[in-house]
Chains A and B, each alone.
Chain A
Amino acid sequence: DVKVTQSSRYLVKRTGEKVFLECVQDMDHENMFWYRQDPGLGLRLIYFSYDVKMKEKGDIPEGYSVSREKKERFSLILESASTNQTSMYLCASSPSGTGLNEQFFGPGTRLTVL
């Protein structure tokens, strides 16, 4: 059974803290993605990676960075957390090959920044 896991389901941090959100997939997928989900706004892409050590900015990269040192792991970093980064963060992965390939999602991390 394919699986994308995220390090925490719920996370509470203070303003100014450095925050790491970890995502691991066990499907040997080339592509990994970080989305942010807010009510009424749907899913917005933060960053994605199509290979180890490669990254591409999405629609809302400001305030975030990413790291992909191993194929199975894609980390999202909030360098200095702010209250407007309180949100649900979803990680996904997908294989290369065809545009019809499914993106598999993790369960999400609900981050609250106080």
Chain B
Amino acid sequence: AQTVTQSQPEMSVQEAETVTLSCTYDTSESDYYLFWYKQPPSRQMILVIRQEAYKQQNATENRFSVNFQKAAKSFSLKISDSQLGDAAMYFCAYRSDNSGNTPLVFGKGTRLSVIA
């Protein structure tokens, strides 16, 4: 079974600085899909960014970008110009099925604090 590992239970960053959250996964598949979700203190999970494994170019969404290293099975999230509203739990997730009908497999999360 696929597993997703987030090795940093908690991290903190100064406002306006950059922070990188780590994620590694275990799979024998060659094609798969990776996601980062954010769960603010209000608890509604929202998608931050996603990436298909066969696309080598790293995905970017405004201040959020990923560093996808397929050989290392690593999918880290970089947040630039951190803002107070970025404080949240961040979950890395994996899906192998290309039909979209299977659930995401989540890591245990990283709690990010932003210091003013």
> Does the CB pair B43–A96 fall under 8 Å?
no
The contact of A99 among B9, B95, B107, by CB within 8 Å, is B95
Q: Give the size category of B's interface with A.
A: 20 to 34
Query: What B residues does A101 contact at CB under 8 A?
Result: 100
* Contact A99:B91 (CB < 8 A) given known A33-B103, A40-B9: no
Query: Given the complex of chains A and B, what is the CA–CA distance between A54 and B32 in angstroms?
Result: 24
* Contact A98:B100 (CB < 8 A) given known A42-B106, A42-B107, A107-B44: yes
**Does A114 reach chain B (CB closer than 8 Å)?**
no
Interface size on A (CB < 8 Å)? 29
Interface class of chain A by DSSP: loop
Q: Which residue of B lies closest to A31 (CB)?
A: B101
> Does the CB pair A96–B108 fall under 8 Å?
no
The contact of B100 among A41, A48, A90, A97, by CB within 8 Å, is A97
> Does the CB pair A31–B109 fall under 8 Å?
no
Query: Given the complex of chains A and B, what is the CA–CA distance between A97 and B95 in angstroms?
Result: 13
The contact of A108 among B43, B47, B97, by CB within 8 Å, is B43
* Contact indicator per residue, chain B 94-116, by CB within 8 Å of chain A (1) or not (0): 01111111011111110000000
Residues of A within 8 A of B (CB): 30-31, 33, 35, 40-43, 45, 48, 50, 58, 88, 90, 92, 94-103, 105-108
28 pairs from A and B in contact (CB 8 Å cutoff) = A31-B103, A33-B103, A40-B108, A42-B6, A42-B91, A42-B107, A45-B103, A90-B45, A95-B100, A96-B99, A96-B100, A97-B99, A98-B98, A98-B100, A99-B33, A99-B52, A99-B95, A99-B99, A99-B100, A100-B33, A101-B100, A102-B35, A102-B47, A102-B50, A103-B47, A103-B103, A105-B37, A106-B44
A30-B101, A58-B103 given. 4 additional CB < 8 A pairs?
A96-B99, A100-B33, A100-B50, A101-B100
Residues of B within 8 A of A (CB): 6, 9, 32-33, 35, 37, 42-47, 50, 52, 91, 95-101, 103-109
